[in-house]
Amino acid sequence: MNKPLRRVAIFCGLLVLSLLIRVNWVQFVQADELKNDTNNRRVAIERYSQPRGNIIVGGQAITGSTTNDSGDFKYKRTYKDGPMWAPVTGYASQAFGSNQLEKLNDSILSGTDDKLFFSRTVDMFTGEKQKGGDVVTTLNPKAQKAAYDGLGKSKGAVAAINPETGAILALASTPSYDPSTFAGMSDKDAKAYNALLKKNNPDDPMLNRALRQTYPPGSTFKVVTAAAALENGLYTDINAKTDSPLPWYLPDTAHQPLNNEGNIPCENASLKEALRWSCNTVFGKISADLGNKKMKAEAEKFGYNDAKIDTPVRAAESVYPTDNRPQNAMAGIGQASNRATPLQMAMITSAIANGGKLMKPYMVDKLVAPNLNVVQQHTPEAMSQPLKPENAQKLQEMMEGVVKNGTGTNGQIDGVTVGGKTGTAQHGENNKDNPYAWFISYAKTSKGTPVAVAVVIEGSDTLRGDIAGGKLAAPIAKKVMEAVLDGNK
Amino acid sequence: MSSTTTTTTVGTIGAPSRRNTELAMLVFAVLIPVFAYINVGLAKEGSVPAGILGYSLGLGLLAGVTHLVVRKWAPYADPLMLPIATLLNGLGLVFIWRLDQEPQITTKQLGGALAPGQMMWSTIGVALFLGVLIFLKDHRVLQRYTYISMVVALVLLIAPIFFPAKFGARIWITIPGVGSLQPGEFAKIVIAIFFAGYLMVKRDALALASRRFMGLYLPRGRDLGPILVIWALSLMILVFETDLGTSLLFFGLFVVMLYVATERTSWIVFGLLLSAGGAVAVATFESHVQTRVHNWLNPLELLNGGVTETAQAMYSFGSGGILGSGLGQGYSRLIGGIAPKSDYILATVGEEAGLAGLMAILLLYGLLIERGIRTALAARDPFGKLLAVGLSGAFALQVFVVAGGVTGLIPLTGMTMPFLAQGGSSVIANWALVALLLRISDTARRPAPAPAPSTDAEMTQVVRP
């Protein structure tokens, strides 16, 4: 019986060997993959085992950490003025993950980033627990507060940029939410989170309207159309009469007229006058005359049709599509399928205010290690040159005219040069929904141009017509600009 | 002439008893778990745990008593098996105690702290071990109980059908006032005794009285009968008790013993065909088996939006990596419920002791199995050979089925890791199993008795004047 016994011995040996091979496969080959699997709770336990680094605005942390009394997770995220800063910070929830800056800079905030290798190694030797680094943002707390308070109860968004650097100064979106309410993982947190979901809350408070929502830009887009006219040499003198009949009929249609809002002097109006009165006929015709290709090219120089505008939080893609002639004419006055994010409109304004050079928008100035060493510093970089400096000059003059004695007088600030453009975008099938009120503007002092801002308000019931942008959105833009100017004094 | 000086070719030189080797290794087998115990305490509370004295004394006492009994009643027994069993049992206690420190899986519904109970069961197991060594002077006595064993094994295997399922498996019988028993663990030993006795008698009939058919030896119908009964029985266990592991264990054990007894490879082919046929047939209508296979093929799948036990175990292994998180510092409790202390205890070993620790544990099992088969090789009587290979084969299959299931090598089955996992029946039965193996090895390695002085030799001697 010894021969089969030896074979059985070999067989049993093979059984044990196969187990050894299997555990080597799982614990050596697959180990990293399993260890870092998103469903592996250890990842989250590890993450919340120490206080997270902070997101910093104007030298103050707008986030914090508090200890949890129960459960696996020791530390929980807290937010200061959560609803106001939510469009910037995003959320970091034990139960629902994270988004925006909390997610994009997670490795720094949780202290696992390779850039922190040195400080982590030192901590290892000194026996300190792993600590998170900080994210220093470019935001201006006063401007943010002005924007958030200005929006108040209405639905809308504000984006403000420093035209000279591209630094984002304000990023507000209403209605908002407080990320603190679901930072933990209790039933209460789950309830708070579910109540915020779009399917349970039609106002969609977790939507970051400043970056992630596109709207028809309405008349504010006329500055781009004007830029295209100047850049392409269609018109060179902003005070010379244009070839603009009234009424003007959309091309390729059976005599469908493009109407102006109200009875305004638009026939053959100069570019400056046309912008001041916001003449649909003049700018619709410019867009038609230039054609879809040139209009699209100019819009793209300002950042349209770019799906990868990362601030680092990625903005939704603003669209200026390839279109037929009547649609292109409509797009030239910011209607039809032309859609833009508030950030996009702020970028357009900043490029005009910055002498035609568009700076890449960003909101993270630097990443700081726990020992306060800077591990990454943003240097402003140019994104494109949508306008020649002299054309930028002309556009500034036109926009300043709008605020001085046009539709945007509500944006005036004493002792400061303000350029702006109002907009009221029609919205919905046959224009049945409430229009969006827009205002874009910049403020200029002797020291430079510190701020460009775009404001959009959805669904206000008050007024229709071009005046709405000036009436609803302009005061908010003004407050934001004033807040920035105050800080710069 | 020199030839007249020695009168016999049988010498009295046998294998050395190796009792001192065993003692030295037992010291390690006690010290390693004691250090592990201290390690857990330091990791969890930052201090040496209060129970350390009791634990070390208890384990040391058990090891000391077993050693003395082996020295006295089985002096030539294999020196490795007892230290390995002691080490595994001791480490099992540490791991269970370590998991008891997690409040989430040590609730009242889950039976509270299980380490004290396990300590008690281990003591009973060791008592049974001692009993077997002291009272079973010769393993061949068991031959007499061949058919009684069969009846007992059948009763043990079928009994759980009449009791409610517990923790999702119908492998328990509940005796009021005493608690729950897993009769399958004991049936493993009893059925090995039955097979050994039955096959020793029938091996020639099974091996020789057969027809050749397509290169295979097919046995006669009347010899085939009992074999088919066993096959049907293991399928029945699978269907009615939904216990894949036990079914696999018994059928595998049977095929191995049959092969050893008859030395006919055809039995293996025959056995594999039967088991494959049975498995496929059962799998087609048993959703339970299908679920297990599905979970095995998709270990990381989410179920109802949550992570499954299988996935949690895989995460445990992965997070442990090569060196492990350290005793007391893993999160294998995430597997949930009582599973980390029983079926999934290897996940804790893998996570906290790492690949290195897990391989060491698996090698200990491998060593124990091979010492068992070595005992079978050394045994001089066919019954002893068959019994030894049956017991070690059953042990090997159990280790493979459990460890393979937990690590995702094969579909998961609900069985306990011998000595390591929480469970009274398991630890008692396995101590008895080791006792039987030690008894057989003692008989096998015992030197033949010195021949009585041969008076014939004197008388036939030619005396020259």
Say which residue the tokens 């592991």 belong to: B245
Domain ranges within chain A, ordered by starting residue: 211-363+382-487
pLDDT greater than 80 at residue B210: no
The residue with greater pLDDT, B212 or A95, is A95
Tell me how crowded residue B454 is: count the other CB atoms within 10 A of its CB: 11
* Cβ–Cβ gap A27/B374 under 8 Å: no
Mean pLDDT of the region A221-248: 92
Of B242, B373, B211, B267, which Cα lies nearest the Cα of A9? B373
pLDDT of residue B420: 94
Which superfamily does A211-363+382-487 belong to? DD-peptidase/beta-lactamase superfamily (3.40.710.10)
Residues 6+ positions from B306 with CB-CB distance below 8 Å? none
Each residue's pLDDT tens digit, B15-38: 678 899 999 999 999 999 999 999
Of A74, A86, A79, which Cα lies nearest the Cα of A54? A79
The residue with greater pLDDT, A215 or A459, is A215
pLDDT of residue B455: 63
* Cβ–Cβ gap B314/A34 under 8 Å: yes
Distances (CA, A) of B316 to B324, B406, B417, B450: 10, 11, 17, 57
Is residue B36 within 8 angstroms of chain A, CB to CB? no
User: Alpha-carbon distance B432 to B124, whole Å?
Assistant: 10
Mean pLDDT of the region B175-181: 70
B positions 247-306 inside 8 Å of A (CB): 256, 259-261, 263, 300, 302
Cis peptide before A342 (omega within 30 of 0): no
* Cβ–Cβ gap A23/B300 under 8 Å: no
pLDDT greater than 50 at residue A373: yes
pLDDT > 70 in chain A, percent: 96
Question: B397 by DSSP, 3-state: which?
Answer: helix
User: Alpha-carbon distance A448 to A350, whole Å?
Assistant: 12
User: Alpha-carbon distance A150 to A156, whole Å?
Assistant: 10
Longest CA span, chain A: 113
Residue B261: phi and psi, rounded to 5, are: -70, -45
Choose the mutation target among A27, A39, A47, A70 for the interface with B, i.e. most B CBs under 10 Å.
A27
Q: Cα–chain-centroid distance for residue A360?
A: 12
Mean pLDDT of the region B116-133: 93
Confidence band, pLDDT 50/70/90 cuts, at residue B51? confident
pLDDT greater than 80 at residue B425: yes
User: Alpha-carbon distance B426 to B121, whole Å?
Assistant: 9
Say which residue the tokens 């209607």 belong to: A335
Tokens found for residue A396: 């500034």
Per DSSP bridges, beta strands A55-57 and A134-137 are parallel
Each residue's pLDDT tens digit, A47-88: 788 888 999 999 999 999 888 766 778 888 899 999 999 999
Mean per-residue pLDDT of chain B: 85
Mean pLDDT of the region A404-433: 84
Choose the mutation target among B272, B315, B325 for the interface with A, i.e. most A CBs under 10 Å.
B315
B positions 330-349 inside 8 Å of A (CB): 331, 334
Question: A131 by DSSP, 3-state: which?
Answer: coil
Of B300, B365, B389, B382, which Cα lies nearest the Cα of B87? B365
Mean pLDDT of the region A235-241: 92
Looking at residue A215, the DSSP 8-state letter turns out to be B
pLDDT greater than 80 at residue B180: no
Mean per-residue pLDDT of chain A: 89
Residues B137 and B168: beta-carbon distance below 8 Å: no
E strand segments, A332-486: 358-359, 364-368, 374-377, 382-384, 417-425, 436-445, 448-458
Q: CB-hemisphere CA count at 13 Å for B381?
A: 18
Question: A302 by DSSP, 3-state: which?
Answer: coil
- Among A110, A180, A219, A441, the active-site one is A219
Q: Cα–chain-centroid distance for residue B341?
A: 18
Domain ranges within chain B, ordered by starting residue: 140-448
Confidence band, pLDDT 50/70/90 cuts, at residue A115? confident
The residue with greater pLDDT, B432 or A254, is B432
Mean pLDDT of the region A361-390: 92
Confidence band, pLDDT 50/70/90 cuts, at residue A467? low
A98 is catalytic: no
pLDDT of residue B284: 83
